[in-house]
Amino acid sequence: MSKPLFRPPRHLVKEWPEVFEDLYMNTMPVAYLDFVHIEFEDGRIWEINIRQQLGEKTADDIADVLLNTMTEYKDEIIKLDFKVNIQKLKKDILDSTKTIL
């Protein structure tokens, strides 16, 4: 069974349209996230500061916690948003491209 694809958030497309305009994703590496914003049916809002946690835990550990949280609360979550560290993503993509070329 394949994972559903989703479009990147509008702010991400606006920040770097030549890369994200026609892109659909099924994953986003945790190392490129600044925060995750989760809204629940009952009005609760959780804002998880990923950048801060990356200083304390590994990206894999954070990804596991996020996945477990999404699984546990999937029926209660009404909105999920995230902020991507565009500068880090751009740098890594450009560095990788230079290495390949």
- Determine which of 14-28, 31-45, 63-77 has the lowest per-residue pLDDT on average: 14-28
Average pLDDT for 30-39: 90
| pLDDT(43) > 80 | yes
Tokens of 14: 């606006």
> Of 1, 2, 75, 61, whose CA–CA distance to 30 is shortest?
61
Percentage with pLDDT > 70 across the chain:
77
> Is pLDDT at 8 greater than 90 in this prediction?
no
CA distances from 4 to 58, 64, 85 (A): 26, 19, 23
On whether the pTM is more than 0.85, the answer is no
**Sequence letter at residue 55:** G
Rounded distance between C-alpha atoms, residue 56 and residue 50, angstroms: 10
* Direct distance between the N- and C-terminal alpha carbons of the chain, in angstroms, rounded to an integer: 35
Res. 14 pLDDT band, cuts 50 70 90: confident
Q: Which two tokens stand for residue 46?
A: 């959780």
